[in-house]
Amino acid sequence: MRWSYRIATLFGTEVRLHVTFVALLAWYAFMAWRVGGEAAAAWAVGFLSLVFASVLLHEFGHVLMAKRFGIRTPDILLSPIGGLARLERMPEEPRQELLVALAGPAVTLGIIVILAGARSLSADPQALWVFDPGHERLLPALLRANIVLLGFNLLPAFPMDGGRVLRAVLSSRIGAVRGTRIAARIGQTFAFGLGLFGLWASPMLVLIAGFIYLAAEAEANAVETRAAGQGMTAAAMMITNLRTLPVYATLTDAIALLLSGEQREFPIVDNDGRLEGMLTRDHLIRGLAEQGPGATVGTVMAAGVEGVSPSLSFDRAMDQLRAGGLAALPVVTPDRVVIGLITADNVTDLLLVRRHLPAAR
């Protein structure tokens, strides 16, 4: 992910920090410093760091529950709008999604119980609801923040946890596609209202509302795409009329091939047609800038690309395409000979045609 950096790896999941989070820390510290000086700034940074540590624990609740169902989580991204655990795939059964969705809030509830227990050992319960950076004790403020996080996450606004619970319940009754679309519409309506409120209250709420709206639409489209591709394999999705480049070809050769047609991604093969890597337009432009037109494609290509079998299911092929980070995915035989290419544009065209074929109705 762009502008994010790995800070740790836990349970096989990378924890990544977006650079804008550092900017948020700096802004929060500056605003606190203006009110109470250096002590207030240090308090603010410590408080915000602990809040995001709570968010991280919440996300690992999702990660560990998903792991129980054989679903891997490649990474968690921490950004100013919260945490995002990127599951390798969504649970196929509504019951599984319900448990994965509830695991995060369950962790937050556990944090609240622990903090409340520790808070009950101290005097002055009213301090729980006082917020004064630089003066308020850290534990009451952290408890209040987790209560707010729990309440916000449980709102039935997809794709937040409460919205995922709603989607799981709806999917068990009316199917995944309709259930997701209804949950997404509810989430987008909530996001619209939150955005309007944010125009008056806080720009951060507008940012969060925009994320919720776009994420809900993307999730609904993804579910509809999976449903439309049900029963398909990589062989049915791939482009078979494609051009490849030998690993010793020059960038000049690649330019000629790029300009001769509409293909933008080229499998790089050895003398026997076996996959060596992928050359995208971005790789080509970068190679021209750094090494010149005489360089070979083998020096600028994306190496270590794993092709997929033509018998791979639609869902798995799409997961591989997204996980690979490239615009195209080569389809290969067992001995790695390239026989096709899967691109997002071709899949979109194929699904549009399938929806209008009489046999698909």
Written as six digits, the tokens of 39 are 């002590």
Written as six digits, the tokens of 339 are 């026989």
Active site residue 290: no
Cα gap 180→173, rounded to integer Å: 12
Residues 6+ apart with CB under 8 A from 235: 310, 311, 331, 340
**Taking the mean position of all CA atoms in its chain, how far away is CA 13?**
13
Give the number of other CB atoms < 10 A from CB of residue 11: 10
Cα gap 349→352, rounded to integer Å: 5
Does residue 66 contact residue 73 with C-beta atoms inside 8 Å? yes
Instruction: Please identify which of the residues 14, 38, 59, 219 carries the catalytic annotation.
Output: 59
Cα gap 155→183, rounded to integer Å: 12
Helices marked H in 246-338 = 251-259, 281-291, 314-324
Q: Which helix (H) or strand (E) holds 245?
A: strand 245-246
Residues 6+ apart with CB under 8 A from 17: 4, 5, 7, 77, 78
Q: Which helix (H) or strand (E) holds 199?
A: helix 176-201
**Taking the mean position of all CA atoms in its chain, how far away is CA 208?**
15
**Taking the mean position of all CA atoms in its chain, how far away is CA 184?**
17
Q: What phi and psi, each to the nearest 5 degrees, are found at residue 171?
A: -65, -35
Q: Which residues of 117-132 are buried (b: 16+ CB within 10 A; e: fewer)?
A: eebeeeeeeebbeeee
Q: Residue for token digits 């021209």? A: 288
Catalytic residues: 59
